[in-house]
Amino acid sequence: MIRSIMLRRIVVATAIIAAPAYAMLHPRLVAAVPAVNSTASVAPTMLRLTFQEALEPAMSRITMVDSARRAVALGAVVADAADPKTLVATLKAPVGQGRYTVNWQAAGADGHPMRGSYTFTVAASHAH
């Protein structure tokens, strides 16, 4: 009985210690342009997503949809040459006013892809 209790405590303690370290191994979005939940006065011409670690661009994706869930055409997703933590995708055409959702998949050095999404709103109809 005492061995069982001790074993459970060791397992729980190990999980508590290991969980934050494991979570740090995976990409986490730390900044975006347009910003998460922002309202842009000018329509974006590109998306820039920055993560807390360097990425494997070949295993990373960005897609964008409008409020009707129609895909917005993007160019190739590439790593920023000056910052391997940042993915960049250029919009192929200007977008109008409305709410947009950016969906991302990013993989770090361990190759395990993480996914997420965020929204932003465009209050102006043309890029400047």
Residue ranges of the domains in the chain? 26-122
| Confidence check: pLDDT of 21 > 70 | no
Q: pLDDT digits over 5-18, tens only?
A: 655 665 454 444 44
Tell me the CATH number for domain 26-122.
2.60.40.1220
Percent of the chain with pLDDT over 90: 69
Exposure of 85 in the CB half-sphere (CA atoms within 13 A): 11
Residue 22 has pLDDT above 50, yes or no: no
The lowest-confidence range among 19-23, 42-46, 123-127 is 19-23
pLDDT reported for residue 20: 46
pLDDT at 109: 82
Q: Is residue 66 helix, strand or coil? A: strand
Q: Over the stretch 69-109, which tens digit does the pLDDT of each residue have? A: 999 999 999 999 999 999 999 999 999 999 999 999 999 88
pLDDT, residue 45, reads: 98
Q: Which two tokens stand for residue 60?
A: 């990373």
As a whole number of angstroms, the distance between CA 3 and CA 11 comes to 12
Q: What are phi and psi of 23, to 5 degrees?
A: -65, -35
